[in-house]
Structure 1
Amino acid sequence: MTTTAITEPAAAAAGTVNILIVDDEPRNLAVLESILDDPSYRLVRAGTGEEALLALMADEFALLVLDVRMPGMTGFELAQMIKERKKTARIPIIFLTAYYNEDQHVLEGYGTGAVDYLHKPVNPAVLRSKVAVFAELHRKGRELEQANARLSELNASLDQRVTERTLELQESEARLLEAHRRKDEFLATLAHELRNPLAPVRNAIHYLKLRGPDTPDVHWASDVIDRQVGAMGRLIEDLMDISRINQGRIELRREQVALDAVLADAVETVQPQIDGAGHKLTVLQPPMKLLVDADRARLAQAFANLLSNAAKYTDPGGQIELGVVADGGMAVVAVRDSGIGIAPERLESVFEMFSQDVPALARARGGLGIGLALTRRLVHLHGGSIGASSEGGGKGSVFRVWLPVAATRAADAPTAEAPAPACAEGALRILVADDNRDAAETMGILLEMMGHQVQRVHDGEAAVQAAGSFRPELVLLDIGMPGVNGYEACRRIRAQAGAAAPKLVAVTGWGQPHDVQSARDAGFDHHLVKPVDMDALMHVVEACVAASGRA
């Protein structure tokens, strides 16, 4: 036990509690100190109410042992003041008295905050027991406060760590989004750069075909080049489609369409590849026509990828089967081949990006390994599902697509669109502007072979000047020309021609949706992607001829 006068305030040592004993008789204080002799107690004595208040202001106490009858401020009055102060209101008080034994005094004591009321002479054991209880309660309370303080610190630390981790994750997400953005920009740039050299190659092929009969060798070489340019173009489109899907930029133009028409489009796309490999393609259609709610071009692209995959992974002279059956409310399309098959452990991964079965062989057969991944995503966008099965290596494979059938069936649904018409008669003045001289020259030659008058320039400024002097009815502008780009040239040509402005067509390797929108915003009437599809170009030219009244 430590006994301290009120002039020596000190914080309680670890594990000890402060107890304030108040009595105006020094003898009584000595008796209390004797009874409460305990090393875990720090006893602070006060002889008056005023001294007790000073002690209470200086220290924290677990308990007050308070004499009721004191000169000046009585114990009751002191207790009332203690109760009125927020800092001391919860300190338990044990009253000691030799005089106030009536019930009214006891009630008054409890009313002023007493937790017990003992009569002198005090039973030492009873007093020690009661003090021990309150001292232990104080220790537990202090431990709880310390635990709460530690918990608050831990929570604050955890909050800080969560905040820091959240910031790290946000920064990581920002870096990832930036990496995706850069990747998409790279893919778009790559597609543009790959399309540019393909444009004059395709134009040259069409020139050879329009020139008339040629030797078998030249005809064969033209067909080979045409097929390979088409394959290259499809690879570029696959790359761009994956980027568009990842960004959520693909919007399906849904309509009710006959499934056999969609499959006919897919077969037409892949037929040269199938014929070139000497495969036999068998198409099995159901007795009734099935309608699906689909984007015809995109769904045909998905089935063309499956057929192309079958042709690629089947040795020359193989068998490919395309079948359709109705199963309840679903149309099931199966593409079966006699090719190299798929190992059982790889069936789950064939639809993953850049996945190719038997990698070394797959690389030898070409491809980027994105066709099946793109197909799965296109099928999912149509509300369908896709699966693969195979009995193992060398035993062929089957890819099945399940698509919801539209509510109605139409026996007279259209099956195919008419091919693009040939260019109408009537010559146009056409301006071709492209900094790629081969692309400009070959495009000009093709248009001249159709009977049109063509002028070629190789930069945007020259295009604006030629538009003023040559007065073309149709202008084909490359976008990425040095100096004045295609967008600016388009605006200037429109501004200088006014109401007599020619039809303006953007011819570019940039083919994403926002590129098309940028062309429209600049004032272009049409947007064609390199290498230009000749049917699409002929539609534009014929529309211009018709508008001129010379059709």
Structure 2
Amino acid sequence: MGARTVNHQGTPGVVWLVGRSRRHVGNARRALAPYHDVDTFAGGRDVLARLARGIRPTIMAIDGRMPRRAAAAIVASVREVWDNDAFPLLVISETEREQDIAGWLAAGVNDCLTRPFGAVELVSRVSALMRLQRLYEQLVRERIERDVQDTLRRFRTIADALPHILWMCRGDGAVEYYNSRWSSYTGGGVSLLRLGWARVLHPEDVPRFMSRWDECRRTGEDFDIEARLRRHDGAYRWHLHRARAIRYAGARAITRWIGTCTDVDDLKRAEAEAAALVGGAPLGIGLLDRDLRWRRVNEALAAMSGLPREALVGRGVEEVAPELQAVLEPLCRAVLSSGEPLVNHEIAGGTPAAPHAERHYLVNGYPVRIGDEIIGLAALILDITERKRAERRAEEASRLKDEFLATMSHELRTPLNAILGWATMMSRGLVPEGRRAHAIAVIERNARAQAQLIEDLLDISRITSGELRLETTPVAPLSIVESSLDVVQPAAEAKKIRLERALDRRALTVMADPDRLRQIVLNLLTNAVKFTREGGEIRTSLRRAGRSVEIAVEDNGQGISRDFLPYVFERFRQADASTTREHGGLGLGLAIARHLVELHGGTIEARSEGEGRGATFLVRLPLVASRLDEQGARPAEPSREPPPTVVRADLAGLRVVVVEDDVDACEMLGSALAQCRAHVELAVGAAQGLELVRRLRPDLLLADIAMPGEDGYALIRSVRALSPEDGGKTAAIAVTACAGEEDRARALGAGFDLHVAKPVDLSQLLALVGRIAVRAQMLEER
């Protein structure tokens, strides 16, 4: 076919002619062929087959000479697949009846051409329908284009208004679109993004980001990752990067990705700060939803539960702490329903972390709201178990203190009662001559008992303040044990208690303070005698045990209950602190003994099978090198237990000045010295005492320390400032109730020659004064 004529008939198109009459179809073909491509079909089957393959004409003309049902079937089948807008249908009809034409138009036919007609009319009618179709399609395209442009404008407006970076790329990752937020944030255009994510991401995040992006492009999975994105000023901020794949319906291949980059830097910093505050907090912090399931928890709360944080999230209260559910759940429900906070509510129970131990918690709960809606509960839980234990310990300590004060009051008042009673009776002449010696012995015995109580209290005070000091030397413990047994022998015989000894008499040596070691042994023996019933037995042993010396005191007496045994060495503890207790004392002896043993580097242990089955106390002290054993340790001095009567020293000619602000104490010392034929002058203050020293130049000065106005320290400094001719070299003894080691050191440092603690042991004091008298006599003879 030659070139088609292009004239007023319009642009060539494709015409399908459908009909069974070869003559009519041939005439129509010849008329249209010069202007259009014409295909002919004898029936509807071939037409529908070609349409099914996606091939369609510009116009289809159907010959009405075909059986009407066949022509109508073709029209119906075509319009079932292709609507009226797809291409026009022209029916060549044999009748002009309006009813027939209306039927065709209703079935989807665009126009009817009635025979007879000429070739020009056919071509004109076909061309007119083509022009109308093309005009319609143009209008549709223009409308679509306008709609697309409007949609794109709206999309860009919305996209640019978003606080996020929005981008699109092809399935291979090549970027096609970005919104204005990209440019304003990065300072670059699409060219920057086309260089690759590696150019805009933090170098540390690139491997992780690209690995996940490549994986998602391969699998089509949703892309979600946090990574730092560089800002135009070079700063990096955390962004949440998300992308979703776009596919054609029914297709597997990804045509595009649409993605966003959301700035979450402030959120991450806030979360990090909150996590630092909450995570490092010593109290458990968590967020519960309305179903009482944990949504967030910190490490402290996880530790309380005994479960990892990850295991807690999503679990309910009943799963995490079933033992606490009964009390905790109603409290939380009340907060959620009322909106009122729960403040400082104490609960107790077990958790998986400690299922068999009751723990105590302080719970606070605050409603979490969005507007007026309560969406959950913020819980703050503090483990106060140790605090509760400390409170119980404090209560116990307070109870023990009260018991101790009551006991101390009793123990101090009891000897005072005997002292005051007998002293009053004697002063009023109510004691017969034959009973006076007994009364004096009772007063002396109770005074010594009271002095021992005070000494124990002072030892406890020194222990508590860390002021108790030892003066150690190599000591043979054998002599100390034996002398201590001699001291308690009379008390044991009075109760018909048999004292057995199993003492290793080899040369065993320990580094010890002899007085304190004797105090340890005496405490144990005195306790054994006190708690052993009449006719009982006490066995004392001394032996070498490896590199230690072991001293054991075992009795068959009252014993120690299993409940009290762990506390037997604690201060102020007594197995029986009631008013009906059988044995007296302050309960300090064993506490002092333990501390003294530990100061010597040793250990002390108590054993008992229970009440009524006796007790054993074991003291172990480090044994010193055998070289010292061979050389011989310094034997312990004999017991300082005072004799029952006062030593009557001969102090004839000794000049003594006594300075004491307490008149009774001053007269007592003066009287005792005068009984020994000393010449005594009494002064009731430091100023008067200094004047007497200047005037008399005595052989000895006895002075108290604590006095009103000037104390004993000031007095001795003033005396030592005098010339020898005025008494500056006078021997001086401090007689004071300031009895600590520091007090002794301070007195000697101030200028005193000796320090004697009150209450004064007259035998000891007179013996010291006697030695000074001998020295004074020797100086005179020279």
Same fold per TM (> 0.5)?
Answer: yes
Name the residue aligned to 1:449: 675
In the alignment, is residue 514 of structure 1 matched against residue 742 of structure 2? yes
Which residue identity is paired with 1:377? Answer: H
- C-alpha deviation, 1:158, in angstroms: 7.0
**Which of 693, 703, 724 does residue 477 from structure 1 map onto?**
703
Q: Aligned in 2, Cα 1:232/1:127: closer, same or farther, shift over 3 Å?
A: farther
Unaligned stretches of 5+ residues in structure 2: 1-150, 169-174, 201-229, 242-252, 286-299, 301-381, 427-431, 641-646
Conserved? CA contact 2:239–2:263, under 8 Å: no
Q: Aligned in 2, Cα 1:89/1:144: closer, same or farther, shift over 3 Å?
A: closer
Name the residue aligned to 1:147: 271
Aligned equivalents of 1:392 and 1:67: distance in 2?
A: 91
**1:425-436 equivalence runs, <5 A:** 426-436=652-662
Bigger share in helix: 1
**1:336-347 equivalence runs, <5 A:** 336-347=554-565
Residue-by-residue CA offset, 1:124-173 (whole Å, 9 max, x unaligned): x96852x52x63xx5677764453243244468779x99xx9xxx9xx9x
**Larger Rg over CA atoms:** 2
Q: Aligned in 2, Cα 1:279/1:437: closer, same or farther, shift over 3 Å?
A: farther
Which residue identity is paired with 1:148? Answer: A
Aligned equivalents of 1:247 and 1:92: distance in 2?
A: 63
Aligned equivalents of 1:522 and 1:438: distance in 2?
A: 26
| SS of residue matched to 1:483 | coil
Q: Aligned in 2, Cα 1:89/1:438: closer, same or farther, shift over 3 Å?
A: closer
Q: Aligned in 2, Cα 1:89/1:447: closer, same or farther, shift over 3 Å?
A: closer
In the alignment, is residue 18 of structure 1 matched against residue 165 of structure 2? yes
Name the residue aligned to 1:227: 445
Aligned equivalents of 2:268 and 2:238: distance in 1?
A: 16
Aligned equivalents of 1:362 and 1:469: distance in 2?
A: 60
Which residue identity is paired with 1:151? Answer: A
Residue-by-residue CA offset, 1:343-365 (whole Å, 9 max, x unaligned): 23322222221222233388442
In the alignment, is residue 240 of structure 1 matched against residue 458 of structure 2? yes
Aligned equivalents of 1:332 and 1:270: distance in 2?
A: 20
- C-alpha deviation, 1:482, in angstroms: 2.1
* RMSD between superposed Cα atoms in Å: 4.8
- C-alpha deviation, 1:504, in angstroms: 1.9
Aligned equivalents of 1:389 and 1:298: distance in 2?
A: 23
Q: Aligned in 2, Cα 1:126/1:224: closer, same or farther, shift over 3 Å?
A: same
Q: Aligned in 2, Cα 1:334/1:84: closer, same or farther, shift over 3 Å?
A: same
**Which of 506, 528, 531 does residue 756 from structure 2 map onto?**
528
Conserved? CA contact 1:273–1:311, under 8 Å: yes
Which residue identity is paired with 2:235? Answer: K
Conserved? CA contact 2:606–2:616, under 8 Å: yes
In the alignment, is residue 417 of structure 1 matched against residue 637 of structure 2? yes
Name the residue aligned to 2:715: 489
Q: Aligned in 2, Cα 1:286/1:218: closer, same or farther, shift over 3 Å?
A: farther
Aligned equivalents of 1:431 and 1:344: distance in 2?
A: 58
In the alignment, is residue 331 of structure 1 matched against residue 549 of structure 2? yes
Name the residue aligned to 2:224: none
Residue-by-residue CA offset, 1:497-533 (whole Å, 9 max, x unaligned): 5563212221111111222233234322221100123
Conserved? CA contact 2:474–2:634, under 8 Å: no
Q: Aligned in 2, Cα 1:294/1:157: closer, same or farther, shift over 3 Å?
A: closer
Conserved? CA contact 2:690–2:719, under 8 Å: yes
Residue-by-residue CA offset, 1:204-246 (whole Å, 9 max, x unaligned): 99xx9xxxxx976433333333332222222222212122222
**1:380-419 equivalence runs, <5 A:** 380-408=598-626, 409-410=629-630, 413=633, 415-417=635-637
**1:98-113 equivalence runs, <5 A:** none
Aligned identity (percent) is 30
In the alignment, is residue 288 of structure 1 matched against residue 506 of structure 2? yes
| SS of residue matched to 2:563 | helix
- C-alpha deviation, 1:454, in angstroms: 0.9
Residue-by-residue CA offset, 1:294-318 (whole Å, 9 max, x unaligned): 1111111011111111122233554
TM-score, normalising length: structure 2? 0.48
Unaligned stretches of 5+ residues in structure 1: 22-28, 33-42, 47-51, 94-124, 209-213
**Which of 484, 496, 506 does residue 266 from structure 1 map onto?**
484
Aligned equivalents of 2:580 and 2:484: distance in 1?
A: 23
Name the residue aligned to 1:438: 664
| SS of residue matched to 2:653 | coil
Conserved? CA contact 1:3–1:44, under 8 Å: no
The answer to which of 242-251 and 266-275 deviates more is 266-275
Which has the bigger relative contact order, CA under 8 A and spacing at least 6? 1
**1:69-108 equivalence runs, <5 A:** 85-87=233-235
Name the residue aligned to 2:185: 56
Conserved? CA contact 2:484–2:521, under 8 Å: yes
TM-score, normalising length: structure 1? 0.66
Name the residue aligned to 1:98: none
| SS of residue matched to 1:365 | coil
| SS of residue matched to 2:469 | coil
Conserved? CA contact 1:425–1:550, under 8 Å: no
Which residue identity is paired with 2:760? Answer: V
**1:38-49 equivalence runs, <5 A:** 44-45=179-180
| SS of residue matched to 1:345 | coil
Aligned length: 444
Which residue identity is paired with 1:45? Answer: S
Name the residue aligned to 2:594: 376
Residue-by-residue CA offset, 1:15-66 (whole Å, 9 max, x unaligned): xx23389xxxxxxx9x94xxxxxxxxxx7438xxxxx86x339xxx9xx7x3
Conserved? CA contact 1:426–1:550, under 8 Å: no
Aligned equivalents of 1:390 and 1:517: distance in 2?
A: 42
| SS of residue matched to 2:475 | strand
